[in-house]
Structure 1
Amino acid sequence: MRGADYLIKTLKDHQVDTVFGYPGGAIMPVYDALLGSGVKHVLCRHEQGAVFAADGYARSSGRLGVCIATSGPGATNLITGIANAHMDSVPLLAITGQVASNLIGTDAFQEIDTYGMSLSVVKHSYLVTHIEELPRMLNEAIQLAQSGRPGPVLIDIAKDVQMAPMPATTLAFCDDLRPNALSATSQQSGGESLQLATELLSTSRKPLVYAGGGVGLAKASELLTSFVDQFKVPTVTTLKGIGALPSTHVYNLGMLGMHGTKAANIAVQECDLLLVAGARLDDRATGDLKQFAPHAKVIHIDCDRAEISKLRLADLSLIGDMNSILTELMTSLSNRFKHQMAHEWRYRCLHNKKELGFRYDAPFSGIYAPALLKKLSDRCLQQQAIVTCDVGQHQMWVAQHMQFNASSQHLSSGGLGAMGYGLPAALGAKFAHPDHTVITVSGDGSIMMNIQELATLKRYGIAVKILLLDNQRLGMVRQWQNLFFEQRFSEVDLSDNPDFVEIAHAFGVRSHSINQSSQVDSALDEFLASDESYLLHVSIDPDDNVWPLVPPGKSNSDYIENNPNKTKAAPDSSQHKRPEEATQ
């Protein structure tokens, strides 16, 4: 067989049945091998769309996402999506074609140093210039992407290698490759650390769980929920950790950080013990690190030793498989004491959750985005709908006002914050879960970055619901310019947007537009009932902002609610225009 045939066979051997890509000269042998192979190829309309689709496929399913592109611009168009997967620890395999090996280094047509260009945004990169190298490199790449802390791996294959016949001796060697040779994770933490963790937790008066995206990646959400249930520990989540503990859980205080809930941020600042599970203490979550959780000791659970004490010094680390660690910790705690932890602390946290919660009784006729998203969430929570987000104000509104029972239901570009992620990620999620409702929430800025993927939806006849919140602005940038740049609005006006309903019609996608709150209920019913792709265009007020907000460089306790010159500590007798700017 040719190298390209071996590539496709190996993908099938690793249970890869769907790939996303865009063909070109240097990857043409692989596309030839795809014909009749049984591997489904989804032709996206841009390489960035393909890599984001593979990302959405991987996040929603837990399986390896695979994208394919040619050399030169094909490979460079993948880089943003590869970086996105790297920042959010998504198991992704990017396969790129390269010019023939004898042309590498000659500035050949569509030649680029894909290997060198990708090094900072992957777990590992491979450049295959000899057919004998392909089996080892390919199998390693597939396994490495999914082992330990997942992440993207790139394999760049010279065109002559794709076309070369596989030597019989090499094929014999392939049979000896061990599928799980690279699957081991960091060594499990010992019993002494577990005993110390038990001691810290059992003596804590104000314990708090801080759950990140690593919980979902480790498939440890069920165990985390059992831990919280058994010991009744209040919990906060990161953006990527949303769903690690069901949003409806009584002890879930919501997301912490820059746009976190007041209850979550107050709890973090007042706790005396922080149990960090699969989180990296990102700056958007912690605010000013020097003022973050000032009274708390930190127990950090993670499979990646590099994350321990990287930003906040951990008093104790438990490194290894999260399921094993949580199981042992629960057993140890159960044997150590019988009483419930910190009754007064729990009461305070739950009181804050109730009294400082969001309000949705907007006193105006226009559409209030948080209330709209709350209604959407109430309708689709029981359907186990998957929601993907672009980046901007709407992304934070989804995190604040929608509820999720699993982290695989909430797909959002966290670390990189890549606009244009939502639509192709929804496409990938729908291919992974054809029977699930898949919704993408986008803004008028983000949707334009990969709007060409509407053609992909139409081509494959798949039903993705697109909720487009249109304020004719780059909303988040405008909000920051309003608050921190003396209202000097620079390049955020999108009032010359095209007619998005007509654009959707041109792509053959059903669409409808609303601009009044009285239209919301019927529009959402039609939106969710559609058995084909549907774009619901929603006009909202450009002056609506995301609250609360922790200014950059400030403590999480110094959040702004509505007046940029006042914080929560300052008295305010004014009438609030927006309901989220007041407490119940």
Structure 2
Amino acid sequence: MSIACRGADALVKALSKAGVKHIFTLSGNHIMPVFDACIGAGIELFHTRHEAAAVHMADAYARLTGKVGVALVTGGPGHANAVSALYTAQMAESPVLLLSGHAPHDQLGMGAFQEMRQADVAAPLVKMAATAQHPHTLADELAHAICAALAGRPGPVHLSLPTDVLEGAAHVHDEVNGECFSPVRQVLDDTTAARLVSSLADASRPLILVGPACMTRAGRERIGTLAAALGVPVVGMESPRGINDPSLGAFAEMLAQADRVMLLGKRMDFTLAFGKSPAFAPDCTFLQIDPEPQEIARTRRAVAERLIGTAVADSFPALDMLATVGRNAGKCDERWARDVRGAIAWRPEQWRTASSSLEKRVHPVQALAPFQALLDSHPDAVFVSDGGEFGQWAQACLRAPNRVINGVAGAIGAALPFALAARVAHPEAPVVAVMGDGTFGFHAAEMDTAVRYGLPFVAVVGNDARWNAEYQIQLRSYGPERLIGCELLPGRYDRVTEAFGGAGAFVERADDLKDAVEQAQAAQRSKLPACVNIMIEGVAAPSFKSRAS
């Protein structure tokens, strides 16, 4: 049995059956039929100020919920604006669906309004890119796209929506149900799992490294279960700083001592120094479980015969099976596991008394410390971190049950949209978004979105009036006489937030932080975003290659 309707109605009905409750969007001519179809459909639209922000919101929402995050933008320039944000989602292994309006099929090649080869533009940044062909097949095309986003290594996908497909007559079939949007999983069989667990047990100093897709809350729960079952340290990696990720403390010195490392959904890439010494011991051997055979082939090219065991499987089923098999296996040396945990938790003792050497400036450690209590106040609290040096300080200093960072892409600018999506995903939990002053400028107008929708969060801006990551590179590489192109004004981002209807606090002294945090919390109770603009000393991000350095 089928029901006649517009293609846009078929699309929205299919999204609803897929469990989509929220769409992050910016309006435009081509997608007005979808906006109309959403009325009364139980799907809430969050209307942003920039198309890239809509994709960043979908990205953070996907990471926080484990569901597909949906962004909807118009065609042509709207699509082009949105595409830039796909790279961050791709490298974070985040299942994002970008739906873009599109010129009608019957006008293609004729110079249609905002005509663009949109799927070709998106293709390098997504797992699949397609253009919907007919109203009748739109629901099936959507199901295929969502399954692709969730299957194997999760990631973004794109589907363009020509206006004649959205406005044309469609027939919605009853057999389209929730199961149509669930991909087939690649499981790890128990025999292979037992062989890999045995290989880990044979090592003296084994480690398991997992990739970004495992760093969701559900993934981290599985990581904890596996670590407990095997007694092997399981370390998640999602930072562009790789093994020198400040949130991992002195982990790099332990990695260099490991004699066997399992890569579970973790690419052998620049974040692991391509498996080379001194990041890894020259005789360290590797095991690998990955959903993509080409990633295993890439590892083999990097480490050759040191890759001694492999399997093709999705990360979550592999984590579950390894834990099941491992419960009956011997555990690794507790001293090694304890030492690894200690290295990750380690922070320099001098941080306890860190202070700025400059007047009317605050050291990053001082600036961040007061916000930990806010993150500790709720079991679903969300910590967002974005930016160069200050973002790295934040990742080293702050922790929370949920964390969203700019990820392996190393791109900056997404913190404000990330925070908005975090509030949508966790309506009652505190959201603390830490960013540099450069980052704030990318999507400052999303403070308007926060006010319009009543999505409160705390934006903590570390204001050193420069692009400090690049400044530090120039300083190290070329010297203090050859610094160029990194200066910013010491902007009053607190006042920018106030201009959009939010709350702001300006801090130049560490003693003023307590009042600023209290003001930010008061704004949350009023359903307003708050910006705590802290003038910081522009010091380099921490790097813990060893505890002796």
Work out the CA distance in 2 between the residues paired with 1:288 and 1:208.
Answer: 14
SS in 2 for 1:456: helix
Work out the CA distance in 1 between the residues paired with 2:388 and 2:542.
Answer: 13
Work out the CA distance in 2 between the residues paired with 1:264 and 1:161.
Answer: 53
Work out the CA distance in 2 between the residues paired with 1:324 and 1:238.
Answer: 19
Q: Of residues 258, 262, 276 in structure 2, which corresponds to 1:289?
A: 276
Work out the CA distance in 2 between the residues paired with 1:43 and 1:353.
Answer: 40
CA contact (8 A) 1:255 1:400 kept: no
Q: State the partner residue of 2:310.
A: 317
SS in 2 for 1:154: strand
Q: Of residues 357, 376, 382 in structure 2, which corresponds to 1:381?
A: 376
Shift of 1:31: 2.0
After the TM superposition, which residues 357-372 of structure 1 pair with which residues of structure 2 at under 5 Å, given as runs? 357=348, 359-360=350-351, 361-364=353-356, 366-372=361-367
Offset from partner CA, 1:444-502 (integer Å, 9 cap, x none): 111111111111111112211111110000011111111123232121000x3432222
Q: Does 1:341 align with 2:329?
A: no
Task: Name the CA shift for 1:489/1:224 in 2 (closer, same or farther; >3 Å).
Answer: same
Offset from partner CA, 1:327-369 (integer Å, 9 cap, x none): 44344444343xx522453454456567764642114474111
SS in 1 for 2:372: helix
Q: State the partner residue of 1:526.
A: 519
After the TM superposition, which residues 35-114 of structure 1 pair with which residues of structure 2 at under 5 Å, given as runs? 35-114=39-118
Offset from partner CA, 1:296-350 (integer Å, 9 cap, x none): 222223333333242444322233244443444344444343xx52245345445
CA contact (8 A) 2:135 2:168 kept: yes
Work out the CA distance in 1 between the residues paired with 2:31 and 2:347.
Answer: 55
Any unmatched runs of 5+ in structure 2?
Answer: none
Q: State the partner residue of 2:260.
A: 273
Work out the CA distance in 2 between the residues paired with 1:516 and 1:545.
Answer: 20
Q: Of residues 3, 14, 20 in structure 1, which corresponds to 2:18?
A: 14
Offset from partner CA, 1:9-56 (integer Å, 9 cap, x none): 111111211111111122222222223333211111111111111112
CA contact (8 A) 2:355 2:363 kept: no
CA contact (8 A) 2:23 2:70 kept: yes
Work out the CA distance in 2 between the residues paired with 1:15 and 1:41.
Answer: 14
Q: Does 1:203 align with 2:199?
A: no
Offset from partner CA, 1:511-537 (integer Å, 9 cap, x none): 010111122233223323432311100
Work out the CA distance in 2 between the residues paired with 1:356 and 1:138.
Answer: 47
CA contact (8 A) 1:232 1:341 kept: yes
Work out the CA distance in 2 between the residues paired with 1:239 and 1:404.
Answer: 16
Q: Of residues 141, 145, 152 in structure 1, which corresponds to 2:145?
A: 141
Which stretch shows the higher mean deviation, 180-189 or 121-130? Answer: 180-189
Shift of 1:196: 2.7
Work out the CA distance in 2 between the residues paired with 1:525 and 1:281.
Answer: 44
Work out the CA distance in 2 between the residues paired with 1:355 and 1:165.
Answer: 62
Work out the CA distance in 2 between the residues paired with 1:122 and 1:302.
Answer: 18
CA contact (8 A) 1:474 1:493 kept: yes
CA contact (8 A) 2:148 2:183 kept: no
CA contact (8 A) 1:255 1:399 kept: no
RMSD between aligned residues: 2.7
Q: Which amino acid aligns with 1:538?
A: I
Offset from partner CA, 1:520-558 (integer Å, 9 cap, x none): 23322332343231110000012x111217xxxxxxx5x
CA contact (8 A) 2:382 2:403 kept: yes
SS in 2 for 1:111: coil
Task: Name the CA shift for 1:288/1:419 in 2 (closer, same or farther; >3 Å).
Answer: same
Q: Does 1:425 align with 2:413?
A: no
Task: Name the CA shift for 1:397/1:229 in 2 (closer, same or farther; >3 Å).
Answer: same
Work out the CA distance in 1 between the residues paired with 2:469 and 2:289.
Answer: 33
Q: Which amino acid aligns with 2:252?
A: N
Offset from partner CA, 1:44-79 (integer Å, 9 cap, x none): 111111111111221111122111111111110110
SS in 2 for 1:315: strand
Offset from partner CA, 1:363-386 (integer Å, 9 cap, x none): 447411124324322442342311
Q: State the partner residue of 1:577.
A: none
Task: Name the CA shift for 1:100/1:59 in 2 (closer, same or farther; >3 Å).
Answer: same
Which stretch shows the higher mean deviation, 505-514 or 137-146? Answer: 137-146
CA contact (8 A) 1:210 1:237 kept: yes
Q: Which amino acid aligns with 1:491?
A: G
Q: Which amino acid aligns with 1:224?
A: I
SS in 2 for 1:308: helix
Task: Name the CA shift for 1:377/1:306 in 2 (closer, same or farther; >3 Å).
Answer: farther
Q: State the partner residue of 2:485.
A: 491
Which stretch shows the higher mean deviation, 130-139 or 425-434? Answer: 130-139
Which stretch shows the higher mean deviation, 286-295 or 73-82? Answer: 286-295
Q: State the partner residue of 1:305.
A: 293
Q: Which amino acid aligns with 1:490?
A: I
Work out the CA distance in 1 between the residues paired with 2:190 and 2:231.
Answer: 24
Q: Percent identity?
A: 24
SS in 2 for 1:446: helix
TM-score of the pair, normalised by structure 1: 0.84
Work out the CA distance in 2 between the residues paired with 1:353 and 1:38.
Answer: 44
Q: Which amino acid aligns with 1:533?
A: P
After the TM superposition, which residues 505-584 of structure 1 pair with which residues of structure 2 at under 5 Å, given as runs? 505-530=498-523, 531=525, 532-542=528-538, 544-548=539-543
Task: Name the CA shift for 1:518/1:126 in 2 (closer, same or farther; >3 Å).
Answer: same
Work out the CA distance in 1 between the residues paired with 2:216 and 2:403.
Answer: 13
Q: State the partner residue of 1:475.
A: 468
TM-score of the pair, normalised by structure 2: 0.89
SS in 2 for 1:335: coil
Q: Which amino acid aligns with 1:90?
A: S
Q: State the partner residue of 2:391.
A: 395
Work out the CA distance in 2 between the residues paired with 1:353 and 1:21.
Answer: 39
Which stretch shows the higher mean deviation, 132-141 or 262-271? Answer: 132-141
Shift of 1:184: 4.4
Work out the CA distance in 1 between the residues paired with 2:162 and 2:466.
Answer: 44
Q: Of residues 116, 120, 124 in structure 1, which corresponds to 2:124?
A: 120
Task: Name the CA shift for 1:347/1:182 in 2 (closer, same or farther; >3 Å).
Answer: closer
Task: Name the CA shift for 1:300/1:90 in 2 (closer, same or farther; >3 Å).
Answer: same
Work out the CA distance in 2 between the residues paired with 1:537 and 1:218.
Answer: 29
Q: State the partner residue of 1:574.
A: none
Q: State the partner residue of 1:229.
A: 228
Work out the CA distance in 2 between the residues paired with 1:358 and 1:211.
Answer: 29
Offset from partner CA, 1:74-104 (integer Å, 9 cap, x none): 1101101222212211111111111121221
CA contact (8 A) 1:236 1:264 kept: no
Work out the CA distance in 2 between the residues paired with 1:4 and 1:281.
Answer: 42
Any unmatched runs of 5+ in structure 1?
Answer: 242-253, 550-556, 562-567, 569-581
Task: Name the CA shift for 1:410/1:352 in 2 (closer, same or farther; >3 Å).
Answer: closer
Q: Does 1:239 align with 2:212?
A: no
Q: State the partner residue of 2:459.
A: 466
CA contact (8 A) 2:7 2:167 kept: yes
Q: Which amino acid aligns with 2:192?
A: S
Task: Name the CA shift for 1:297/1:218 in 2 (closer, same or farther; >3 Å).
Answer: farther
Work out the CA distance in 2 between the residues paired with 1:52 and 1:410.
Answer: 15
SS in 1 for 2:534: strand
CA contact (8 A) 1:239 1:399 kept: no
CA contact (8 A) 2:268 2:275 kept: no
